[in-house]
Structures are given as structure tokens and as C-alpha cells.
Chains A and B, each alone.
Chain A
Amino acid sequence: MATQHSRSAARIMMAPAVILLLGWMLIPLTMTLVFSFKRYLPLRGGDLGWTGFDNYVRFVSSSAFWPSVQTTLIIVGGVLIITIFFGVLLSMLLDQPMWGQGIVRILVIAPFFVMPTVSALVWKNMFMDPVNGLFAHLWKAFGAQPIEWLSDLSLFSIILIVSWQWLPFATLILLTAIQSLDSEQLEAAEMDGAPPLSRFAFIVLPHLSRAITIVVLIQTIFLLAIFAEIFVTTSGAFGTRTLTYLIFQRVLESQNVGLGSAGGVYAIILANIVAIFLMRIVGKNLDT
């Protein structure tokens, strides 16, 4: 409800944000689409003309494509499972009465604020280094042979690092959701004779389902795009080349823009599928 005057003012005031984002989205997207149909090698002749769907076919049929999709899914899936499983446990623990809850919260949330390059470096050198890393010391202390984490257990190591970064996020959101659970519901269930495990399964978990969905979707968007962690630790070697990293390599390392752009379009489609689900959920929430 407003006057014509304020409505037109509103349009004008919204314009910069809308125009900027529209430009930010459309211009590069159009360029990517155009490049994807071209043979485009900036260092070896530049724009070599249209090739139809050649790049799309080549990108999918390259030996690196399916492994990269697989790697991407393993990393995303692995991190999701770990962060949500431990996130639920941790948030329920943090919801219990205890001394120094605020401090524990601060300790738990901290990794989220560490920049990805720092966390990757710290884990790579100070923990996972097979000679001087803390894990190597620990293994040696028990007489075991230190593990070459980033080459022998490369995927697991990356999942571990990324999970460490995202566990705080999952925990914080789930904790917020748990705190909004009406404790009378739990007490009513207790009066009805439900043992703790059933109370968790029938009341707490359904209450958390929405928060869990949101965690899954938001993390998926960020995890599909993880870059710095791989860039710093393995540079895509030892089977840690994700789709994002593969495209990055095609574009910047082998300077095959056409091929990389076709890969980019695949990545955009993949992200959009996830996005549609997220928007549904957030959109529903707007009405309430």
C-alpha cells in the first residue's frame, strides 16, 4: 500500500541493484554460452570459429570428466553426511544445560571464520605432513607408519578439511532450530511414555527436517564450488579433481576456453538443479 509517488521512487531505488546484478549475471553468462560453441584457444590462435556442440561432446567424453563428477559427488556427499550427522549430535549437546555454553559455542563456530586458504595450508602442513605433521607424530608415538594423507588418502583428507570448515555452520543452524523447539512438546511426549530415542525420532528430527534441508542445499551450493582447498593442497592431483577444478584447469591452465566454457555450462546446469530446490524452500518461507 503506497502512493504512485512512492512506487515510482521504489522502482528507481531498486534499479541500481537490479541492473548491476542483471549485468553481472547476463553478460558473462552470454559470453560463456558463446565461447562454449567455439574453438577458442587464447594462446594458440585465439578464436578459431564455431564448432557447434563439439566442446560439449568433448568435455563429456574426455577421460577426466566422469572421474571429476564422481569426485565432486563424493566430496559433496561426504561432507554433507559428516557435517549433518555430527551437526545434529553437537547441536543437541550444546542445547543441554552446561557451564560455559557461550565459550563452547565460540570454540565450535571458529573454523567457519578461517579463510579457506589458511585452513587448507594449516591442515596440509601442520597436521597432514607425513614428516613433521602432528598426525605423523601421533602415529609414530604409537609405533605406526605415518600416513601420506594427501596422496594416499587424498579424498578423505579433503573431505576432513572441508567438513571441519562447514561443521560449525551446520551446527549453528541446527542449534538455532533446536532452540525453537517447544519444550512442552517434548514433555508431553515424555508424559505419553515415549523413551528418549523415540522422542528424538518422532519429535526432534521432524522439527529439524527443515533446517537440515536448508543446510543441505546451502552447503551443496558452496561445496560444488570449493576451490581453494584443492588448489592449495593437491592442485587436483591424486584423484581430487572436482568438476570446478577441471573447468578451472581447462580454462586457465590449458587455456582451452571453448572446452572450459562448455564445462561451465554443465556446472551451471548442475547448480541450477540444486538452486530450484533451495528457492522453493526459501520462497515458501517468505509467505509466513
Chain B
Amino acid sequence: MGQITLNQITKSFGDVQVIPPLDLQINDGEFVVFVGPSGCGKSTLLRLIAGLEDTTSGEINIDGRDATEVPPAKRGLAMVFQSYALYPHMSVRKNIAFPLRMAGLDKAAQDAKVEAAAKVLNLTDYLERRPGQLSGGQRQRVAIGRAIVREPAAFLFDEPLSNLDAALRVNMRLEISELHQSLETTMIYVTHDQVEAMTMADKIVVLQAGVIEQVGSPLDLYHTPKNKFVAGFIGSPKMNFLMGGYAAEFDATTIGVRPEHLSVSATEGKWQGKVGVSEHLGSDTFLYVDIEGLDEPLTVRSSGEVALRHGDIVHLTPDPEKIHRFDNQGLRMA
């Protein structure tokens, strides 16, 4: 079981309130990702759930039990830290066994669990090494192994992939997703990378300045962002925003169009512009098109190769079904 309910929790450091009253429901077995720009309070929120920070007010409920005052070790949660936080003076085996040792398990039971976890994580050959002798990905797996053996109610991940290089990050992302599918345990994952959020989450929680902007499935957020912030944060490349006359035409203060929802034509279209930079990725082409009256160029994503270059005149047409309208508060209009 791993159901976590946050009830009107707040957190202040001194006079600064970093998290205003916040409610959140995390269901058993869910993969929840907290995402937001740095300083949005997502790590603080995770640490509140872990018990590494005190809540200033409000209640944290784990599996129907009030855990607000319960020390971290007694909450039945396991955490994987950004720096992995492996114990450098212990072998991999001892690292993974440490929570079991603290729980007072006998040696044989410790060994059995460590071996099992090592097998799942492909660490069997490295059990006698020290963390210092492992690669980044292996260290990450040891940290996960240390979490798995505790059989926690929920796993907490604090930006676990940010210290890995790009290729490894994709691998570990898959491994964590697979782990979630096989364990079916609740996982709470903090990241600033919306790609990680989109690819891994059952439920994404978008945070800004300690406030939850929106909670929903990845595709919910993609298709119906509640406000401009979520619209701009989710999706890559970023959504284009147009204001003034361009928006007025649609009875909105601002309209948003995703780069993949703009079609390009050399001859006719709704908006005319000039190609600034074009990026050719092979599978896709990104065009940055300067349009009169707009401060920033519009980003266009076309699949395949597009033979357009700097200075070419193009015409862009948005898919009318896929235009997002926002009012003067930045909120989504129906």
C-alpha cells in the first residue's frame, strides 16, 4: 500500500512561505512526477513527504495514518537522492544491506534480499566494490537497490538522473519505468525536465512558486493545459504564444499554438514570415520564423526534411482545432 494524502500543508523558512496551503492526493501504485522550474518548491515538497523537513502546518497522511510528526525512518518510504548519497566507506553489498541492518534483520535474511535486489538491478558482479569504483549509472542502481530492499510503501526520487549523461539518462529512465511496472509500488519523482515527466508519469503535478498549477495525466496536460504556465512548460519545443491582433482574432488575450500544430507552405497561409534559423534533425525540421509584429520568432516543427533556409519567405497556418486560448489572467478559455 502506498496512498499519500497532503492536506492543507504549508512550509515556511523563517518568514518566507515557500509552500502556501497545498492539497494533493497520491493513489496507491501511481507514478507521480513533480515538475517545475528550479526553486518551485518541488524538492521541498518531496522532503516534506519524506519527513526530512517539518511541515509548518497541515497534515500528511500515509495509508490512512497521520504521519506528519512521524520521523523519516518510520514512514515506510525510501528515497533516492540526486547525489545518490551512497555510503562511500561501505561496499555495494553493505550499502544495500544498510536499511535491513538498521531494521535488525538477521544476516542470512539480509544477504538473501541483497542478492535478489542485485539480480534485478544487474549489480551481482559489483557487490564487493566500493561506490567510488562504480560508474554513474551503477551508482544510481545501487541507490535504487538500497531503496528496493526496504519494500517501502512508496519510493521518492529527487532528480535522480540529473547527474548522468544524456544517453545514460534515457536508459535509466526506462529502467525506472520498468521497475515501476514490475513492483507496482507508488513512486514520487521530482524533476525539472518535462521530458522525464511526460515519459514516466501516470500523473504529473506542475508546480510554480510552491503552488500546484495543474495535476493530470501527461496527455491531459498536453492537450488541455489549465493556464499559460503549464502550456509553456509542457511540450518540447515550447508552445508559441501570440498576443495582440493575432489573439484578438480568436477572442482571446493570448493564443498558444504548439510547433507541431503549424503547417508550412511556401505559397499561402494565414501568417507570413521569414525563416531565421532552421535546424535539421533528420526526422524533424525545426524552423524559427520571424513574423511581423511578434517579439519572438515562431517555432515550427515539421516532420521529415524541409528544404527551407535562412531568409526564405514562408506562410504558416495553425491547426484550428489545436489552438489554445487564454484570457487576460493567463487562464484557459473554454
Contact = CB atoms under 8 A, between A and B. Distances in A.
Report A-B touching, CB under 8 Å. yes
B54 interface: yes
A4 interface: yes
A285 interface: no
* Most chain B CB atoms below 10 A, which of A1, A2, A3, A5: A3
A1 B13 contact: yes
9 contacts: A1-B13, A1-B53, A2-B52, A2-B53, A3-B51, A3-B53, A3-B54, A3-B71, A5-B71
Counting chain A residues whose Cβ lies within 8 A of the other chain, the interface size class is: under 10
Contacts of A5: 54, 71
A3 B74 CA distance: 14
Interface residues of B, number: 6
Nearest to A7: B54
Contacts of A3: 51-54, 71
Contacts of B54: 3-5
A3 to B, nearest CB: 5
A4 B13 CA distance: 12
A84 to B, nearest CB: 41
Interface string A1-45: 111110000000000000000000000000000000000000000
B199 to A, nearest CB: 31
A2 B13 CA distance: 10
A8 to B, nearest CB: 11
Interface in A129-160: none
B13 to A, nearest CB: 7
A2 B71 CA distance: 12
Contacts of A4: 54
A147 to B, nearest CB: 59
Q: Main secondary structure on chain B at its contact with chain A?
A: loop
Interface string B30-61: 00000000000000000000011110000000
Contacts of B71: 3, 5
B145 to A, nearest CB: 26
Given A2-B53, A3-B71, 8 more contacts: A1-B53, A2-B52, A3-B52, A3-B53, A3-B54, A4-B54, A5-B54, A5-B71
B117 to A, nearest CB: 29
Interface string B9-34: 00001000000000000000000000
Nearest to B51: A3
Nearest to A1: B53
Contacts of B13: 1
A4 B71 CA distance: 10
A5 B51 CA distance: 10
A28 to B, nearest CB: 38
Contacts of B53: 1-3
* Most chain A CB atoms below 10 A, which of B51, B52, B54, B71: B54
Contacts of B51: 3
A211 to B, nearest CB: 32
Nearest to B72: A3
A30 to B, nearest CB: 37
B332 to A, nearest CB: 36
A3 B73 CA distance: 13
A3 B53 CA distance: 5
Nearest to B44: A1
A90 B127 CA distance: 51
Interface string A95-138: 00000000000000000000000000000000000000000000
Contacts of A1: 13, 53
Nearest to A4: B54
B2 to A, nearest CB: 22
Interface string A209-235: 000000000000000000000000000
B49 to A, nearest CB: 13
B158 to A, nearest CB: 14
B248 to A, nearest CB: 48
A5 B72 CA distance: 10
A3 B55 CA distance: 9
A1 B12 CA distance: 11
A134 B204 CA distance: 85
B1 to A, nearest CB: 24
Interface string A68-96: 00000000000000000000000000000
A288 B13 CA distance: 22
Contacts of B52: 2-3
Ranked nearest first, the 6 interchain pairs of A and B with the lowest CB-CB distance are A3-B54, A4-B54, A5-B71, A3-B53, A1-B53, A3-B52
A139 to B, nearest CB: 60
A3 B54 CA distance: 5
A3 B51 CA distance: 8
A3 B67 CA distance: 14
B147 to A, nearest CB: 20
B9 to A, nearest CB: 14
